Structure 1
Amino acid sequence: MRHFISVNQLTVEDIYSILETAENYRTHEVKLNKQLFVANLFFEPSTRTKMSFVVAQKKLGLEILDFHSDSSSVIKGESLYDTAKTFESIGSDLLIVRHQSDSWFEELDDRVSVPIINAGAGKEEHPTQCMLDLLTIYQEYGCIKGLKVVIVGDIKHSRVARSNAFALRKLGAIVYLSAAPGFEDDELDFPYISIDEAVETCDVVMLLRIQHERHLHKAETSDYLELYGLTKERERKMKEQAIIMHPAPINRGVEIDTDLVECGRSRIFKQMENGVFVRMAIMMNVLNEWGIITNENNFKKRKALAFIK
């Protein structure tokens, strides 16, 4: 795995190897034994993903080359490729990229000589978010195979929905989608169910916000919660051990009742915590694959057989 671009490139064992490494980093400190530089090239706003990467990078001892598109040469017309080549040329050993294009990696593939991690591609992929979601589910149930998971919300515009749906199915979960009219994505080959059916039958209810920034016209949300969201009444109908997830940012009172964000079922802030360790594991993985790090005390690729159930 030379670049970490899509969950579709990973085998089941690859996924569980990363999850096991992330769990190991939760309890064992790891520091690189040489100076390495990483550039965080975020062309879209981000709080959780960017700061999670920053904390992960600091824990590993990486030197961070920060970047702000609104104060960079991007405003002068510089392309993504030229920005990436600039950071490669000045010594970055790793690039973390978030960009509004669905296919931005095609602009860099085979043209950049350092590893790249996808921190978000338009409405197409968000693989590191997917991996932290998988870890959160695994921590809860000790397995993923056979679980019923529903992804609820603006499916049509969500990169989280795409990455999670395919990865969960690969790991043996039974995946459903639930969306308001107009928010469905016909390209995704998964069954749709109503929110009321979802809460009564699923082990994991994964909520999504409405992606207003990707809509041509702002969607009406005044009655969205009552019709399509997770109300307190619906939460009471959930299975006893079922959990609530959300990649955030959260539109409180729209896709979820604000009282449920931190309720006993919610794993929303646990997801954020897991993001640090998962991103540490992913960065160490690609650095190891490129031979940029070689010391097994820094990274040891695991078979993850204990995780595969």
Structure 2
Amino acid sequence: MMSSFPHPHLLGIEGLAADDVHLILDEAERWIAFNRRPRRQADLLAGLTQLNAFFENSTRTSLSFEIAGKRLGAQVVSMAVAQSSVAKGESLIDTFRTLNAMQPDVVVIRHGETGAARKVSEIVDCPVINAGDGTGEHPTQALLDALTIRRRLGRIEGLTVAICGDIRHSRVAGSNMRSLPLLGADVRVVAPPALLPPAGELGAVAAYTDMDEGIAGVDVVMMLRIQRERMDAALAGGLSDFHHRYGLTRERLDRLAPRALVMHPGPINRGVEIEGALADDRGRSAILDQVENGVAVRMACLDLLTRARRGD
């Protein structure tokens, strides 16, 4: 009997139990092998309609959800937001009331407003997957990150992970700061003071403002994209000063654990948060593994969330 996912939606890591996360990761494992076959077509979602609504630009997340749905056999429809009534001023609520009337079977949404995915889940009659909402959460990114760590290092429990960069504005950091401790990792964040969240939002996560101290001895270093529009608030010296003080370079690798893994959710600002040659070093960098694993994780999420609709 197939295991069931005990939640109607995937809106964030918050609210999930460790068993829920392990279920998704275990399901994703089989899709990695499937995706490496010469022919990759399943019919689990045959006859179901998957609606992708991306109100923000995306390459990795949007395309991997589209590929995931199509490989599972779904009818995948990607909403052209710029050509929709949203451009005429239609509200999020009215847009999804309209879309719900078209009877989609699963909705994948990315939106700039924190909490947008939850609002949509209260309107539509099908599962909703949050593909990133404002500065809130990006749960499938955290799940694919966890899967990547587990596959490359053999475990998550007991590892030390440093998340570095724009922590305050990062939904990737928000989800990983929930998922990785849930799975037994020791998590720390490293950033300039202006890019750290308020102390009350860190929970048990330790915060560092010195990069060399923050990454010392860690098993995984996860770099985040620096959002250039916010750099003036972070460092008076700008991008070059940020790279000098907080960029990941080969020289800084010596401070990590011997087999430490380098990760980045993309897109990368080469020469800012990470040295370009280091990002391309497949021996240390898991960045392309993250991309590959993202398709498998999203296939697992689509499968698990639609099983009740399929009668499985």
- TM-score where L is the length of structure 2: 0.89
Partners in 2 of 1:246 and 1:274 — Cα distance? 13
Partners in 2 of 1:120 and 1:215 — Cα distance? 22
Deviation readout 1:258-286 (Å, 9 max, x if unpaired): 11111120000100000000000001111
Partners in 1 of 2:306 and 2:152 — Cα distance? 29
Partners in 2 of 1:216 and 1:52 — Cα distance? 33
Deviation readout 1:130-185 (Å, 9 max, x if unpaired): 00000001112222111000000000100000100111111111010000231111
Q: Which position in structure 1 is the counterpart of 2:190?
A: 178
2:27 paired with 1:21 = yes
Unaligned stretches of 5+ residues in structure 1 = 296-309
2:209 paired with 1:203 = no
* 2:202 aligns with one of 176, 188, 197: 188
Partners in 1 of 2:120 and 2:279 — Cα distance? 38
* 1:37 aligns with one of 42, 46, 49: 49
Deviation readout 1:19-61 (Å, 9 max, x if unpaired): 0100011224632263111111000000000001011011101
Q: Letter of the 1:280 partner, please give it.
A: M
Partners in 1 of 2:106 and 2:144 — Cα distance? 20
Partners in 1 of 2:160 and 2:193 — Cα distance? 23
Displacement of 1:236 after TM fit? 3.4
Contact kept? 1:5, 1:117, Cα under 8 Å: yes
Displacement of 1:99 after TM fit? 0.4
* 1:3 aligns with one of 1, 9, 12: 9
Q: Which position in structure 1 is the counterpart of 2:3?
A: none
Q: Which position in structure 1 is the counterpart of 2:251?
A: 233
2:292 paired with 1:273 = yes
Q: Report matched runs for 1:121-132 at 5 Å.
A: 121-132=133-144
Partners in 2 of 1:287 and 1:195 — Cα distance? 43
Partners in 2 of 1:97 and 1:240 — Cα distance? 39
Q: Report matched runs for 1:82-121 at 5 Å.
A: 82-121=94-133
Contact kept? 1:225, 1:254, Cα under 8 Å: yes
Partners in 1 of 2:12 and 2:108 — Cα distance? 13
Displacement of 1:126 after TM fit? 0.3
Contact kept? 1:198, 1:205, Cα under 8 Å: no
Q: Secondary structure at the match of 1:26?
A: helix
Partners in 2 of 1:216 and 1:102 — Cα distance? 23
Q: Secondary structure at the match of 1:182?
A: helix
Partners in 2 of 1:141 and 1:237 — Cα distance? 18
Q: Secondary structure at the match of 1:41?
A: strand
Contact kept? 1:146, 1:173, Cα under 8 Å: yes
Unaligned stretches of 5+ residues in structure 2 = 1-6, 35-39
Contact kept? 1:158, 1:211, Cα under 8 Å: no
- TM-score where L is the length of structure 1: 0.90
Greater RCO between the two (CA within 8 Å, min separation 6)?
Answer: 1
Over 3 Å counting, the alpha-carbon distance change for 1:204 and 1:218 in structure 2 is closer
Q: Letter of the 2:243 partner, please give it.
A: L
2:242 paired with 1:224 = yes
Contact kept? 1:56, 1:277, Cα under 8 Å: yes
Partners in 1 of 2:249 and 2:136 — Cα distance? 28
Q: Which position in structure 1 is the counterpart of 2:260?
A: 242
2:95 paired with 1:77 = no
Partners in 2 of 1:280 and 1:267 — Cα distance? 20
Contact kept? 2:12, 2:130, Cα under 8 Å: yes
Partners in 1 of 2:174 and 2:261 — Cα distance? 20
Partners in 2 of 1:218 and 1:92 — Cα distance? 42
Q: Which position in structure 2 is the counterpart of 1:303?
A: none
Q: Which position in structure 2 is the counterpart of 1:294?
A: 311
Partners in 1 of 2:51 and 2:14 — Cα distance? 24
Q: Letter of the 2:149 partner, please give it.
A: I
Q: Report matched runs for 1:37-56 at 5 Å.
A: 37-56=49-68
> What is the aligned length?
293
State the Cα RMSD in Å.
1.7
Q: Which position in structure 1 is the counterpart of 2:228?
A: 212
